[in-house]
A and B are shown apart, each in its own frame.
Chain A
Amino acid sequence: MSIRSSFWPLFGVFMIAAIAAPLTISSVFWMDFLTLTLFLAVLGQGWNILGGYGGQFSFGHAVFFGTGAYLQVILQAKLGFNPWAAIPFAIFGGIVIGAFTGFLSFRYGLRGSYFALITLAFAEAFRVLATSAEAITDGGQGIYITLNQDPSRALATLQFGAGNGYYFCAVVMTVMSLLVAYWIENSRFGAQLIAIREDEDAAEAIGVNAFKVKMQAICLSGAITAFGGVFYAQKFLLMDPNIAYGPVKSVEMLVMPIIGGMGTIFGPLVGSFFLHSLGEVSKEAAHALVGDRPGLDLIVYGIALVLILALLPNGLVGLMRKLLRREASRA
């Protein structure tokens, strides 16, 4: 099955499941679980564009998430923006930061581990700046969007309270991110990006402008990740330097696509579902065994990461493809 022909059926399955979920699930907890899983899949897709397709592993991807989220919150809380009006600025912020960090890193030829480390440093630098720039970000206290309690203004304030509004937003965002990944796999830009991932010097030798393509990739990645930040801001109505630029989001964003399958369209989605289900099961197990103790779910994430890297470098999607191929060749 070629890539083109396998995408649309899978996409169809996803859409059916996505529409069926709110109709069949009545538990607020599980709808919330799905919403968060989709949201994180979007962030993972953002990472995937630069890391999976581009081969540039970023350890500080939160720098894009945090910028998008902060802009979304600050424009509303401090300048009275309408949330819809703030979104383009937030996304643009992601692009600008992408361009800034990308320019510095790629211009000075940072690759591989050095690139990973400098993204880490950028995220940490932004975290410190966000903590110190109290006039803009309210510093370490965090900055809040006023809660809208009027259901008739839900769409206007982009706040959906306790209903399924956020779920639908998450579905829309996931669809958009899947389509972007599909476009990458079927475009010339994507082909060039993958060529750079495989062997940057060889790609340059055949005429690919590696710097330009990588810049485009990091900006696109930044835009999508910042868009994820917008969702977070509207759902949780609060942002602080640790949520925005801390290591938690950075790690989550890279673990999902790696486990799901780097450089694949559905990798981040599969990874997110797998990890979060696993995480939820471990949380229950922990709760039953020792009560109120965080950490077991993240241990599982770490183990999954190491195992996948060691045994299944193409992630779960890669595994599924292998199994399908084996089925097909047996038939």
Chain B
Amino acid sequence: MYDPSIIAASIINGLMTGSVYSLVALGLTLIYGVLHIINFAHGSLLMLCMYGVWFLYAQAGIDPYLALPLVAAGAYCLGYGLQRSVIGKTSHGRDEIILLVTLGVSIIIENIALFVFTANERVVQVPYDIDGIDLGITFLVIPQIAAFVASLAITAALWLFIARTDIGKAIRAVAKERQGARLVGVNVEHIFAVSFGIGTACLGAAACLLAPTFPISPQIGYIFVLIAFTVVVLGGMGSFVGALIGGLIIGVTESLGGLFFGESLGKLGISLIFILILLFRPTGLFGQRT
């Protein structure tokens, strides 16, 4: 058995990582909530954003945190365009087909990254990643703290945006009642694309927060897809609070799993949670019944 201080340290590490998972899942749950599509390309879009962050850092020396507004804006445009020109146009009918289309998109994105950047791991090595705060039981480095604070801040900002602004109202309207929203004059296709764009912008932000601690390669898309789906399914499709709480739970589960069961077996927790939730409570902790 481990010392409680070791367990506490592991939980704290888990919360730090989990906050970024929340941000990633937020985008996915928003896209599902509004468009009712399960975006399989979510992981590879995150990977692409991370390459963007690396590129800016390696070529122009822009610090990832400073680059956040830029990357998020770029990601928004990418998501908007993707939905408007590819996904919206090709997914008709069953949602398995949409899932397959987004799978196809993820294959394309992943292998473009592989072809252009090769499979070699890229690292964004910020000079301050050794500095941080000593909590006694563990040492929290700046990138971890920044990720935690920024994720929560962005989540809060997004929540306010959806709740208070006009576009936010339109998004909520389309999510609740698509046809009705169309009838009162909302440009539904535009709102779809806006939502997809915002979901991707969350990925852009998450990419900046992850880049200093997470090596970048084309394969990480797949890893993040699994995590993102687990969080969203756990929290409930379409639920903001669910994404937040779900992300933290998954982060802590991953960390404690690794602590108690080793680096390999510890990863089983995520798949297990995913399977169990899908079987026994598919609406998740906070989800609405469709």
- Complex CA–CA separation, A116 to B98 (angstroms): 12
Q: Which residues on A sit within 8 Å (CB–CB) of B86?
A: 306
B272 contacts the other chain (CB 8 A)? yes
B94 contacts the other chain (CB 8 A)? yes
Q: Which residues on B sit within 8 Å (CB–CB) of A253?
A: none
A107 nearest CB across to chain B (Å) = 8
- Contact indicator B111/A298 (Cβ below 8 Å): yes
User: Are A309 and B104 also in contact (CB < 8 A) when A128-B267, A132-B265, A294-B115 are?
Assistant: yes
- Complex CA–CA separation, A298 to B108 (angstroms): 7
B135 contacts the other chain (CB 8 A)? no
Which of A26-34, A119-127, A200-208, A227-235 lies on the face that meets chain B? A119-127
- Contact indicator A293/B118 (Cβ below 8 Å): yes
A247 contacts the other chain (CB 8 A)? yes
Contact with A along B261-290 (1 / 0, CB 8 A): 010110110111011001110100000000
Q: Which residues on B sit within 8 Å (CB–CB) of A114?
A: 278, 282
Contact with B along A121-148 (1 / 0, CB 8 A): 1101100110110000001100000000
- Complex CA–CA separation, A247 to B38 (angstroms): 18
- Contact indicator B271/A124 (Cβ below 8 Å): yes
Closest to A305 in B: B104
User: Are A117 and B233 also in contact (CB < 8 A) when A104-B279, A139-B264 are?
Assistant: yes
B8 contacts the other chain (CB 8 A)? no
Q: Which residues on A sit within 8 Å (CB–CB) of B90?
A: 306, 309-310
- Complex CA–CA separation, A251 to B107 (angstroms): 9
A261 nearest CB across to chain B (Å) = 14
- The B interface is mostly helix, strand or loop, or mixed, namely helix
- Contact indicator B275/A59 (Cβ below 8 Å): no
- Contact indicator B112/A121 (Cβ below 8 Å): no
5 tightest Cβ-Cβ pairs between the two chains A and B: A302-B107, A295-B115, A295-B114, A302-B108, A310-B90
Q: Among the listed B112, B275, B282, which residue makes an inter-chain contact with A125, where contact means beta carbons less than 8 Å apart?
A: B275
Contact with B along A285-310 (1 / 0, CB 8 A): 01000000111101101110110011
A50 nearest CB across to chain B (Å) = 12
B264 nearest CB across to chain A (Å) = 5
- Contact indicator A303/B108 (Cβ below 8 Å): yes
Q: Which residues on A sit within 8 Å (CB–CB) of B229?
A: 117, 120
- Contact indicator B101/A299 (Cβ below 8 Å): no
- The A interface is mostly helix, strand or loop, or mixed, namely helix
Known interface pairs A125-B268, A125-B271, A132-B265; 4 further A-B residue pairs with C-beta atoms within 8 A, sorted by A's residue number? A116-B96, A121-B230, A128-B267, A309-B100
Q: Among the listed B107, B265, B267, B275, which residue makes an inter-chain contact with A122, where contact means beta carbons less than 8 Å apart?
A: B275
- Complex CA–CA separation, A139 to B270 (angstroms): 19
- Contact indicator A296/B111 (Cβ below 8 Å): yes
A110 contacts the other chain (CB 8 A)? yes
- Complex CA–CA separation, A157 to B115 (angstroms): 39
- Contact indicator A57/B100 (Cβ below 8 Å): yes
Q: Among the listed B101, B119, B222, which residue makes an inter-chain contact with A247, where contact means beta carbons less than 8 Å apart?
A: B222
- Contact indicator B262/A132 (Cβ below 8 Å): yes
A82 contacts the other chain (CB 8 A)? no
Q: Which residues on A sit within 8 Å (CB–CB) of B121?
A: none
Closest to A293 in B: B115
Q: Which residues on A sit within 8 Å (CB–CB) of B100?
A: 57, 254, 258, 305, 309
B259 contacts the other chain (CB 8 A)? no
Closest to A139 in B: B264
User: Are A140 and B96 also in contact (CB < 8 A) when A108-B279, A121-B275, A301-B107 are?
Assistant: no
Closest to B117 in A: A295
Closest to A306 in B: B104
Q: Among the listed B38, B95, B226, which residue makes an inter-chain contact with A121, where contact means beta carbons less than 8 Å apart?
A: B226
B12 contacts the other chain (CB 8 A)? no
- Complex CA–CA separation, A114 to B97 (angstroms): 13
- Contact indicator B271/A306 (Cβ below 8 Å): no
A164 contacts the other chain (CB 8 A)? no
A118 contacts the other chain (CB 8 A)? yes
- Contact indicator A305/B96 (Cβ below 8 Å): no
A112 contacts the other chain (CB 8 A)? yes
Contact with A along B237-269 (1 / 0, CB 8 A): 000000000000000000000000010110110
- Docked complex: A56-94 residues within 8 A CB-CB of B: 57, 59
Q: Which residues on B sit within 8 Å (CB–CB) of A112?
A: 94-96
A187 contacts the other chain (CB 8 A)? no
Closest to B118 in A: A293
B89 contacts the other chain (CB 8 A)? yes
